Amino acid sequence: MTSTRQMSRLAMAGLLAFVVIVSGTLSAGAQDTDQEAPPTPVFATNYEVHGLLSLPYAELNEPFTAYYDKEQDRSRTDYYDSEYQVYQFAAKSSPSASSYGSVYQFVYVPADFHKPGESRVHKLLDKAIERLPFRRHDDASAAKNHQDSHTVSAAPTTSQVKRVCFGVQGGPGYSVSAQTVLPDLRDFTYDSTGRCPHVAGGEHRESKCELWKQTTSVGDKKNVYKFWLKRDKQNSTQAIPVHYYMLGYDKLLGSHYDRYDISYFKYKVNGATDRAFELDVSGSKCGPMPGPGDSASEGERRARRVINNPIHEYVVEPHRYDHVDYHFEQFKSEYAQFTRGKYNSEQDERKGWFNFLHNLRFIHGHNRQRKSYKLAVNQYADENVSDLRYLRGRIHSKGYNGGLDYEQHHPGLKSGAGKAADQLPETFDWTVLGAVTPVKDQAICGSCWSFGTSGTVEGAYFVKTGKLLRLSQQQLVDCSWEFGNNGCDGGEDSRAYGYIMKVGGLSTEEDYGHYKAIDGKCHDKDVERPVKIKGFYNVTVNSVDALKHALVNYGPVSISIDASPMTFSFYSHGVYSDEKCKNDPDDLDHSVLAVGYTKIDGKLVWKVKNSWSTYWGNDGYIYIAADNNVCGVLDAPTVPIIDV
């Protein structure tokens, strides 16, 4: 097996390969174009090969190992050092004796975070109702959740990840067969012979390679495919794969829309032995996972094959994108309230489709890894992720922000004392205790700071009085400009506290008016402002105990985090921890609300409320690992001091 460290090296090698390709030096060395064309290459009918699938537009590198046995019509593909395994058996080799063949998937899934019987994700996994990357949103349950702020998930205590098996039986119109990882080159034409490209693995560096090409045009899309290969010295008719490259161009938009590379190494003829196809179910029965029905469209059938084994998309009729069309139409239907009126022209819809294609691949690719959290398609799936900066409106202030030192006012938390920290409960959740209002959607407005601020003031007021009021984010957006906030263009909780203290309080949503997601006209003098504060604490930086203490004693805490990684944008459920999520104070770009904490396998996890609607994340919440200050949770927490 390939170690994790080796896998990382391969991924880095793949990234280096991109530089070579883009700079035009992939086919480095003199090219002989005058020699007689060699015979059309064919690959062995039984092989083992290692490779790296690279998707630069999706920022993804996926190492894999494949076993292919055409004679027995069976295959196995392992991704990420066997973290995701796919076995495909045709009817004659199927362990289940299915007349249409069968597919078995071994995957790692994260812990569930709902009460038994309440989790949509849990139901999808355990019952395998759907293997598409959507989390079905129950409108009725969503409405109930908006009405009842106490409808919340239970604190998880189970293992972060577990290995499970799913079995898919073929059927009419969906016969399972072996999956090759090498494209059919019969429609390719010989181009030239020269030095092999410098790609992942390095074993072909000094060898001579043949270059074969194919160009296809479908509508406005023009795709160019290149394949580099070597010849077997003992049998010149047999090809040894080296590198596969695709670049797609869209004439309507005048830009490239797709790109992928597959590097091959350690190719071994007759390497797919019986041992490679032994199913390791570890004594557990594989759960059922239905295939497409008899009436399924060709797009849905292809979508199912790609979900079962992603390499299918790139080597079997790669010019087809009907599986993406199928997913995209589902997305538009599922998130109609977000896409309605969005596509005013063919160009607009095509851009959304392209963004969706690469986001979908990224989501699938992440979910094949052994991670403690999963991603899913959500309302942002047709967006260029770099354009989602508008959602992250936290502006960082330099220097002192006017808050009180938390540790100074709570001496029991000082280093060495430990008494206050020792008395804290092991788990704590204000959503269960009633101090948190329903999740809202800040929409196309960088007002996250107003939701973090209003959320912590709501909670602190509840702790003091036992009353939960829905306070106005719109008042903060409209009226706190004097203190350096910029409405929908960003702000900060400390500046909002300054405004609240000066004007004498924060109004309720009912009195001031509902949130509009625009910079409105301030009318704070015309309404009651019942919730007053007399200051705020800067909760001790990098102190887990201080944040837990503030949560337990003062209520939900406003925190600032780095929300720029793609994984954050498409987080679905599980314990979030991404090494790309930064924790430097200057990198914190989003304001959210810490509402509690729990432990999973003895490790502390923060429960955090976001302001991107209940369609995002775990019904609007995210669980963030507490070790190593992931995403900067401990960098700038604040909590107000209620004046009653």
Residues identified as active-site:
448, 590, 610
Q: Give residue 271's region: left, alpha or beta (phi > 0; psi -120 to 50).
A: alpha
Q: What gap in Å lies between CA 599 and CA 257, rounded to an integer? A: 43
Distance of alpha carbon 53 from alpha carbon 609, whole angstroms:
35
In angstroms, the CA 500 to CA 495 distance is 9
8-state DSSP, 81: T
Residue 24, exposed/middle/buried by CB under 10 A (0-12, 13-18, 19+)?
Answer: exposed
Instruction: State the CB neighbour count (10 A cutoff) for residue 409.
Output: 10
For residue 572, the number of C-alpha atoms closer than 13 Å in the C-beta half-sphere is 28
Question: Tokens 């909780």 correspond to what residue?
Answer: 493
Give dist(CA 490, CA 519) in Å, integer. Answer: 11
Angle between helix 544-554 and 448-465 (nearest 10) = 60
Identify which of 125, 85, 90 has the alpha carbon closest to the alpha carbon of residue 105.
85
In angstroms, the CA 198 to CA 29 distance is: 11
SS3 520: coil
| HEC assignment per residue over 203-248 | CCCCCEEEEEEEEEEECCEEEEEEEEEEECCCCCCEEEEEEEEEEE
DSSP string of 247-311, one letter each residue: EEEETTTTEEEEEEEEEEEEEEET---GGGG----TT-PPEE-----TT--HHHHHHHHHHH-TT
User: What's the 3-state SS for 163-191?
Assistant: EEEEEEECECCECCCCCCCCCCCCCCEEE
Per DSSP, the three-state class of 334 is helix
Could you give the CA distance from residue 109 to residue 376 in angstroms, rounded to a whole number? 13
Sorted by sequence, the CB contacts under 8 Å of residue 374 that are 6+ apart come out as 109, 110, 121, 366, 367, 572, 573, 574
Cα separation, 610 vs 241, whole angstroms: 47
Report CA dihedral (396, 397, 401, 405) to the nearest 10 degrees: 50
**Contact indicator for 57, 16 with CB cutoff of 8 Å:** no
Taking the C-alpha atoms of residue 372 and residue 616, their distance in angstroms, rounded to an integer, is 17
Q: Tell me which H or E stretch contains 409.
A: helix 406-409
The string of DSSP letters for 463-513 reads HHHS----B-HHHHHHH-GGGT--GGG-B-HHHHHHHHHHHT-B-BHHHH-
Alpha carbon of residue 287 to chain centroid: 25
Q: Which residue has the tokens 């976001």?
A: 610
Sign of dihedral through CA atoms 335, 338, 343, 344? positive
